[in-house]
């Protein structure tokens, strides 16, 4: 059932017509609030403070993607600078050099102009550079999200360029892509921070595993490469099988607690996040906020029939 619905829901995630219709539904905002921490910088910071008090770390994402307008990309940078300024005032921003930073922002390069018809790659790189410079000054980390496979080469090239100045800059790799095992090998070196996820887009079989079992097997192979490497693996999954395998892999690689972390999305398996944190693990919660929640929200619906059922019940007033 979930496999049948996944492709249409992911196609809907990219439809401006459906976006207009769904974001106007009176019930949408309250349903979306389960996965999205409000619309303003203050909302995001408030949510971050609550999670930090519970012993979890945070990565905050200003929602937005696929920008084809330079002014919108610049507005996104301004939003990030405002967010970083606010987060930098929290006591958690004071960290020793080289230590794990509890505060992080996540950015999508397509929101920074990567898809602009002229010079999109260079525009996104320079926008990301401004965000990295502000984050460095404020005591935060930055991780670059992974989007559809047509952007992977450009995204990894931008991360490689920026790491010359900001060696802590992290990036996401998607286990469903056939190339990712090789990317993990190439990027498992000293200082690298790789967030390993399964992958949330609708990708063709030529570039991606489409069978769930194949994606899971690829995740475990990639996890083994990253945990045996000398970087900082960020295990981004809600899957109990992945979390159990990661626990075994980090012990086998003799990694200390501060040499890896678990990551989950805001609003998903909060009890498990807290259980892992209470057991002494580093757990980071990815917190999205902002008005442009549609694409993010639709990908969450596509992942899990229970999320879709929750949305449909709310629509029906149940
Ligand atoms: P999956 O969806 O395969 O579920 C496996 C099992 O986990 C389920 O059978 C169930 O047991 C359990 N589970 C999952 N959700 C649950 C829930 N709500 N309640 C209870 N149990 C649940 N993707 C991308 O393409 N680019 C990116 O940049 C990112 N970034 C990112 C950051 C972080 C921090 C996370 C956690 C994820 C991403 N993703 C992402 C999304 C990712 O690719 C993937 O789509 C989702 O995490 C879903 O995959 P899982 O590994 O969580 O499990």
Cβ atoms within 10 Å of 16's Cβ, excluding its own = 9
Secondary structure of residue 215 in the 3-state scheme: helix
**239 CB less than 6 Å from ligand 1?**
yes
Per-residue model confidence (pLDDT) at position 51: 98
Compute the distance from residue 242 Cα to the ligand 1 centre, in Å. 10
Task: Name the catalytic one among 61, 145, 148, 202.
Answer: 145
What is the token pair recorded at 183? 């990317």
Q: What is the pLDDT of residues 226-238, one digit of tens each?
A: 999 999 999 999 9
DSSP secondary structure string for all residues of 58-77 = EEEEE-------HHHHHHHH
Compute the distance from residue 239 Cα to the ligand 1 centre, in Å. 7
User: For ligand 1, atom 47, which residue shows the shortest CA distance?
Assistant: 237
Compute the distance from residue 237 Cα to the ligand 1 centre, in Å. 5
Top-confidence residue, 172 or 19:
172
Per-residue model confidence (pLDDT) at position 133: 98
Q: What is the pLDDT of residues 68-110, one digit of tens each?
A: 899 999 999 999 999 999 999 999 999 999 999 999 999 999 9
Q: What is the pLDDT of residues 214-226, one digit of tens each?
A: 999 999 999 999 9
Task: Name the catalytic one among 101, 125, 195, 284.
Answer: 195
Compute the distance from residue 304 Cα to the ligand 1 centre, in Å. 9
Residue 152 lies in a domain: yes
Residue 230 lies in a domain: yes
> Is 287 a residue whose pLDDT tops 60?
yes
Top-confidence residue, 302 or 26:
302
How many separate domains does the chain show? 1
Residue 27 lies in a domain: no
**240 CB less than 6 Å from ligand 1?**
yes
Per-residue model confidence (pLDDT) at position 318: 53
Is 202 annotated as catalytic? Answer: no
Residue 11 lies in a domain: no
Per-residue model confidence (pLDDT) at position 2: 64
The CATH number linked to 57 is: 3.20.20.220
> Is 31 a residue whose pLDDT tops 90?
no
Over residues 169-190, mean pLDDT: 97
Residue 86 lies in a domain: yes
Band (pLDDT 50/70/90 cuts) for residue 29 is: confident
Q: What is the pLDDT of residues 35-50, one digit of tens each?
A: 999 999 999 999 999 9
Per-residue model confidence (pLDDT) at position 169: 98
**What φ, ψ does residue 215 adopt, rounded to 5°?**
-65, -45
- Say what the ipTM of the complex is: 0.98
User: For ligand 1, atom 14, which residue shows the shortest CA distance?
Assistant: 238
Residue 314 lies in a domain: no
Is 43 annotated as catalytic? Answer: no
DSSP secondary structure string for all residues of 227-244 = HHSSSEEEEE---HHHHH
Per-residue model confidence (pLDDT) at position 32: 87
Residue 262 lies in a domain: yes
> Is 269 a residue whose pLDDT tops 80?
yes
Residue 18 lies in a domain: no
Q: How far apart are the first and last CA of the chain?
A: 22
- Name the residue range of residue 80's domain: 37-289
pTM equals: 0.96
Binding residues: 108, 174, 198-200, 237-238, 299-300
Q: What is the pLDDT of residues 246-265, one digit of tens each?
A: 999 999 999 999 999 999 99
Average pLDDT, the chain: 94
Per-residue model confidence (pLDDT) at position 25: 82
What is the token pair recorded at 285? 């919660």
């Amino acid at each position: 059932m979930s496999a049948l619905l996944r492709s249409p829901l992911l196609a809907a995630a990219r439809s401006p017509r459906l976006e207009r219709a769904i974001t106007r539904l009176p019930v949408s905002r309250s349903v979306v609030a389960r996965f999205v921490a409000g619309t303003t910088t203050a909302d995001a910071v408030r949510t971050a403070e609550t999670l930090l008090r519970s012993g979890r770390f945070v990565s905050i994402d200003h929602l937005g993607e696929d920008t084809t307008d330079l002014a919108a990309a610049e507005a996104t940078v301004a939003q990030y600078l405002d967010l970083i300024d606010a987060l930098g005032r929290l006591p958690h921003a004071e960290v020793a050099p080289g230590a794990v930073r509890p505060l992080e922002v996540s950015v999508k390069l397509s929101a920074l102009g990567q898809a602009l018809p002229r010079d999109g790659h260079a525009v996104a790189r320079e926008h990301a550079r401004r965000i990295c410079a502000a984050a460095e000054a404020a005591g935060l980390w930055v991780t670059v999200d992974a989007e559809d496979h047509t952007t992977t080469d450009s995204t990894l090239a931008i991360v490689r360029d920026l790491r010359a100045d900001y060696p802590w800059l992290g990036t996401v790799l998607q286990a469903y892509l056939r190339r990712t095992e090789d990317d993990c090998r190439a990027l498992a070196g000293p200082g690298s921070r790789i967030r390993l996820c399964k992958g949330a887009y609708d990708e063709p079989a030529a570039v991606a595993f489409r069978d769930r079992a194949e994606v899971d097997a690829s995740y475990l192979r990639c996890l083994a490469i990253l945990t045996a490497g000398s970087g900082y693996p960020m295990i981004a999954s809600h899957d109990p099988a992945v979390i159990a395998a990661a626990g075994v892999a980090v012990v086998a690689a003799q990694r200390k607690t501060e040499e890896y972390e678990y990551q989950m999305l805001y609003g998903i398996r909060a009890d498990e996040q807290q259980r892992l944190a209470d057991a002494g693990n580093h757990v980071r919660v990815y917190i999205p906020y902002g008005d442009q929640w549609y694409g993010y929200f639709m990908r969450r619906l596509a992942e899990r029939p229970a999320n879709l059922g929750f949305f449909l019940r709310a629509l029906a007033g149940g």
